[in-house]
Amino acid sequence: MPIDLDEVLKALSHPLRREMLEWLKEPEKHFVEQDHPFEIGVCAGKFDERCGLSQSTVSAHLATLQRAGLVTSRKVGQWNFFKRDERNIAEFLRRIGEEL
């Protein structure tokens, strides 16, 4: 599905959401170790610890990033693991650079 520029720009307009995307570039630097390898993604709970915010706030931010196509998630057992969607991020940068 092609990205929706409005959705992506709104998702990126919150500094914490941009920070989350940055942490996902190098998970091993920004999160404490988790049972599953970071290759499958970073567990939602790790973001709660990192941000010091409630689970529901963090969930809402991750959901916004996911709806915009900036991250993908994968469920393993009862946990959700998040990764950057590098293809969509690159597509966003290409399109906004072209449009502006």
Using CB under 8 A, list all residues that contact its own copies. 5-6, 9-10, 12-15, 18, 21-22, 89, 92-93, 96-97, 99-100
Distant-in-sequence contacts of 16-20, Cβ < 8 A, 24+ apart: 16/51, 16/61, 17/61, 17/64, 17/65, 20/47, 20/61, 20/62, 20/65
Nearer to its own copies, 36 or 50 (CB): 50
Beta strand pairing call for 79-84 and 71-76: antiparallel
Name the β-bridge partners of 43: 81
What is the closest distance, in whole angstroms, from the C-beta atom of residue 18 to its own copies in the complex? 6
Nearer to its own copies, 13 or 78 (CB): 13
Instruction: Name the helix (H) or strand (E) containing 22.
Output: helix 15-23
Nearer to its own copies, 14 or 55 (CB): 14
What is the closest distance, in whole angstroms, from the C-beta atom of residue 50 to its own copies in the complex? 18
What is the closest distance, in whole angstroms, from the C-beta atom of residue 33 to its own copies in the complex? 26
For residues 84 and 82, what is the distance between their CA atoms, to the nearest angstrom? 7
What is the closest distance, in whole angstroms, from the C-beta atom of residue 47 to its own copies in the complex? 18
